Amino acid sequence: MPVNYMLPEFEVERSDYRCIRCRVCERQCSNGVHRYDIDGDVILSDEYKCVDCQRCVCLCPTHALKIKKNEASLRENFNWKQNTILEIYKQANTGGVLLSSMGNPEPFPVYWDKILINASQVTNPSIDPLREPMETRVFLGKKPHDITRDENGNINTELPPQIELELPVMFSAMSYGSISYNAHKSLATAAEALGICYNTGEGGLHEDFYQYGKNTIVQVASGRFGVYKDYLEAGAAIEIKMGQGAKPGIGGHLPGAKVQADVSKTRMIPEGSDAISPAPHHDIYSIEDLRQLVFSLKEATDYKKPVIVKVAAVHNIAAIASGIARSGADIIAIDGFRGGTGAAPTRIRDNVGIPIELALAAVDKRLRDEGIRQNVSLVVGGSVRSASDVVKAIALGADACYIATSALLALGCHLCRTCQSGKCNWGIATQDPELVKRLNPETGKERLINLLTAWKHEIKEMMGLMGINSIEALRGNRLMLRGVGLNEKELEILGISHAGE
């Protein structure tokens, strides 16, 4: 049917003058966009297949390529946007749920960009981080409410188990299966070098990566893939995944095609079988149930590992967090609605959940109000894009941030948002060995280290200009923040004043 024809989203612009017919574009495109035609000595493009991942653009040695938004368009309509119409065509063609990946791309407000940071002037002098000590180390876990002493009057120094981080940033959960072996290796080795943690996601822990255990957070999700005693004991902490920002309230589905030898072994499921994570944990219907799982995991690991409970930022998040803080969990991780994913139904990714900035502020306030803020550390994720986002998150009350999209970008991701195809040209979201090898984990490790080393410098600079010399002193320090272009309600939830106040 003619209506089946979908306008290509992109246009490949090839400078014929520059093109030297080296065919690297053809060799590197896993989507088969480029094809050399020997008769015409010309490279042809099948633009319909292009996802704008920029692989060809980056590798073209003469910079002959540009990928542009296709100018050919449907008649403009503010209400019926082109994409909306095309999605309807797609669904009419296939009858299927629309799938997409990575984070919500829709123009919802980004509160990080409406918050500004204070600086010391005249009084309360700023600090030069290159001259004076500046502490970015943080400990995540339950802190005592009061100072207690033993019978001899000595202060009790024994703390519940903690995660120690050299800077308040961790790589958040991405499973082996959703991302490649080399991506995992890059994250694991970088985390080790940086003195932070990465997170297995719910795909289990590949046997090669047990050696990075002290920098690993092992996840227990509704599918329980790859979970067994050694796995729980391997990590620095255990994370119970209740929800994910990109797709709150639904489960996950790794297609059988991606469950190949090593993935199947790591997930402990048969090769080729679909890995389906149920929407809920079938044993958790209340905070009391959650408490049981928290303590089961603590019991299994001899109370040596902090337990994280990760939830998506949704309505009533403050109440939910309050419940979790009372469940025995050591850390609450909250994932905002712009968080990424390897695959999610488009409608869910783009319409469910709330911004992390509001969730964080609401949770921190609620826990303080209830006097249980010390019970837990707060980790937030869901599109933390820069050192300033980290600083703002901490000032809003977070103990640390989870980053994933930023980390993937450092590894080469160009946010084409087609992870679900499994044909990631950058060797990240794929299990095809020919594609996986495109990410050399040595390079990956270096780039991640570079990124967070840069962030660490920037965090110190920003702390210094506020006259603050430790993360501890910045945490929840909302006086350091001001809003711009926010309404009264937003400012109230964020707990900050407007700029100029």
Partner 1 sequence: MKRVYVHEEWCLGCHLCEYNCAFSNSGLTDMVKALKSKKITPRIHVEDDGRIHYAVSCRHCEDPLCIKGCISGALSKGADGVVTIDHDKCVGCLSCMLLCPYGSITTDENETVLKCELCIKNGGIPKCVEGCPNRAIVFEEVEE
Nearest in space to 386 (alpha carbons), one of 79, 129, 112: 112
Residues 168, 394: Cα–Cα separation, whole Å: 9
Q: What's the closest the beta carbon of residue 29 comes to partner 1, in angstroms?
A: 11
Query: Which residue from 5, 6, 23, 132 is in contact with partner 1, where contact means CB under 8 A?
Result: 23
**H or E, element range at 182:** helix 181-194
Which of the stretches 23-31, 109-117, 119-127, 387-395 binds partner 1 when contact is defined by CB under 8 A? 23-31
Q: Does 4 bind partner 1 (CB under 8 A)?
A: no
Q: What's the closest the beta carbon of residue 355 comes to partner 1, in angstroms?
A: 37
Q: Does 42 bind partner 1 (CB under 8 A)?
A: no
Which one, 27 or 68, has the nearer CB to partner 1?
27
Q: What's the closest the beta carbon of residue 193 comes to partner 1, in angstroms?
A: 17
Nearest in space to 186 (alpha carbons), one of 167, 206, 203: 206
Q: What's the closest the beta carbon of residue 14 comes to partner 1, in angstroms?
A: 13
**H or E, element range at 409:** helix 405-411
Q: Does 34 bind partner 1 (CB under 8 A)?
A: no
**H or E, element range at 68:** strand 65-69
Q: What's the closest the beta carbon of residue 419 comes to partner 1, in angstroms?
A: 20
Q: Does 18 bind partner 1 (CB under 8 A)?
A: yes
Which one, 187 or 307, has the nearer CB to partner 1?
187
Q: What's the closest the beta carbon of residue 15 comes to partner 1, in angstroms?
A: 9
| β strands within 330-476, DSSP E | 331-335, 344-345, 377-381, 400-403
Q: Does 22 bind partner 1 (CB under 8 A)?
A: yes
Which of the stretches 147-155, 312-320, 373-381, 436-444 binds partner 1 when contact is defined by CB under 8 A? 436-444
The DSSP result for 341-384, as a single string, is -SSEEHHHHHHSS--HHHHHHHHHHHHHHTT-GGG-EEEEES--
Q: Which two tokens stand for residue 365?
A: 């306030």
Query: Which residue from 10, 14, 28, 220 is in contact with partner 1, where contact means CB under 8 A?
Result: 28
Q: Does 17 bind partner 1 (CB under 8 A)?
A: yes
Identify the three-state secondary structure at position 192.
helix
Which amino acid belongs to residue 93?
A: N
Residues 6 or more apart from 296 whose CB is under 8 A from it?
A: none
Burial 209-232 (b: 16+ CB within 10 A, else e): beebbebbbbbbbbbbbbbeeebb
Q: What's the closest the beta carbon of residue 197 comes to partner 1, in angstroms?
A: 26
Which one, 15 or 77, has the nearer CB to partner 1?
15
How open is the CA angle 323-353-141, to the nearest 5 degrees? Answer: 40
Q: What's the closest the beta carbon of residue 62 comes to partner 1, in angstroms?
A: 5
In what order do the strands lie in the sheet containing 115-117?
A: 115-117, 481-483, 497-498
Residues 6 or more apart from 420 whose CB is under 8 A from it?
A: 99, 100, 101, 342, 343
Which one, 171 or 181, has the nearer CB to partner 1?
181
Q: What's the closest the beta carbon of residue 150 comes to partner 1, in angstroms?
A: 56
Which one, 28 or 277, has the nearer CB to partner 1?
28
Q: Does 438 bind partner 1 (CB under 8 A)?
A: yes
Which of the stretches 24-32, 149-157, 234-242, 403-411 binds partner 1 when contact is defined by CB under 8 A? 24-32
Q: Does 24 bind partner 1 (CB under 8 A)?
A: yes
Which one, 385 or 447, has the nearer CB to partner 1?
447
Q: Which two tokens stand for residue 113?
A: 């960009």
Q: Does 304 bind partner 1 (CB under 8 A)?
A: no
State which of positions 51-80 bind partner 1 (CB under 8 A): 58-59, 61-62
Q: Does 450 bind partner 1 (CB under 8 A)?
A: no
Which amino acid belongs to residue 25?
A: C
Q: Does 440 bind partner 1 (CB under 8 A)?
A: yes
Residues binding partner 1 (CB under 8 A): 17-18, 20, 22-24, 27-28, 58-59, 61-62, 434, 437-438, 440, 442-443
